[in-house]
Amino acid sequence: MKVKRSKIFSGTPWEPKVGYARAVQVGETIHVSGTTGTDPSGKVLAPGDMYAQSVQTIRNIENALKRLGLGLENVVRTRIYVTQIDRWEEVAKAHAEFFGEVHPATSLIGVVRLVDPEMLVEIEAEAVA
């Protein structure tokens, strides 16, 4: 049985290379792929600045949700991956600024590195329509 889904693409070069969509909606559930602080061409913004990358990452998530007629208030879960766990408070500050009233369930996980060494943070999100 083929699952009916709506897909949103951001246009970054990573999507066709890896074979994924930025966001996939199945029924009322939306899964937003791991998202980083990049512009539409895939260029990492604010190298070295975890806070600024976190803000851009969340804005990229928000843009994908908007294309499905939703917003950050629909987010029920985030997963945050950082390459420098001792700098967790920088990403936490950005997360709280955007989700402080939404209070999604979340995880904050330290990883060795992301696909591009300039990427300091990657965030996944799940939302409900």
Query: Does the residue 110 lie in any domain?
Result: yes
pTM, 2 dp: 0.95
Query: Does the residue 1 lie in any domain?
Result: no
How does pLDDT run across 58-71, given as a tens digit for each residue? Answer: 999 999 999 999 99
| Three-class secondary structure of residue 8 per DSSP | strand
Domains contained in the chain, number: 1
Q: Is the pLDDT of residue 14 over 90?
A: no
Query: Does the residue 67 lie in any domain?
Result: yes
DSSP 29-92: EEEEEEE-SB-TT-PBSSTT-HHHHHHHHHHHHHHHHHTTT--GGGEEEEEEEES-GGGHHHHH
Query: Does the residue 66 lie in any domain?
Result: yes
Residue 81 sits in a domain whose CATH number is 3.30.1330.40
The boundaries of the domain holding residue 110 are: 6-128
